[in-house]
Amino acid sequence: MKLFSVDMIDRIVVYIEAAVTALLVILAALGVVDIVIKMLEVTRADGFMTPEGITRTIDTVLVVFIVIELIRIAMAYMQHKNVIGTVLEAGLVAVVRKLVIFESGPDMLEKAIALAVLIVAVGITWFLLHKRQPADADVPGAH
């Protein structure tokens, strides 16, 4: 006697994917609210945005963009589409975020070199992938 059928498990997985996607949408919306609040706080405190305030706001904006890319990945995955290009785009945004909020310190050179290598590697991979196949190609055997 089977406790769970394949169809039942497949339905549960679809519900979980939808729930995760919905939670990511909520997270992105909360991120937008956070951006507005940060901008108001920074502007209200000094009367204008300082470089530090701008950096903090840009950091939050880039985090929201990463969450948006994760939403796109989840939606493409649910539609059985190739998610590799979207994952690479999210990776690029994440690496650029690290570059924008780059902090100086004793190991600054090593961090800068690591970020440069990451940007080049992900960028080349993304370029070659898009040159080879369209981003919305179906993935055979996905799910």
The 10s digit of each residue's pLDDT in 51-82 is 777 788 888 898 899 899 899 989 988 888 88
Which residue type does 129 have? L
Residue 102 lies in a domain: yes
What residue numbers bound the domain in which 120 lies?
Answer: 6-132
Give me the half-sphere count of Cα atoms (radius 13 Å) on the Cβ side of residue 97: 18
Instruction: Decide if 12 is inside a domain.
Output: yes
| 139 domain-assigned | no
Please give the tally of structural domains in the chain: 1
Question: Residue 142 domain-assigned?
Answer: no
> Per the structure block, which two tokens stand in for 4?
């769970």
- pLDDT value at position 141? 43
In a domain, 34, yes or no: yes
User: Whole-angstrom Cα distance, residue 106 to residue 142?
Assistant: 46
Q: Is residue 74 part of a domain?
A: yes
Nearest to 21 by CA among 69, 58, 91: 69
143 domain residue, yes or no: no
Indicate whether 140 belongs to any domain: no
pTM of the model: 0.72
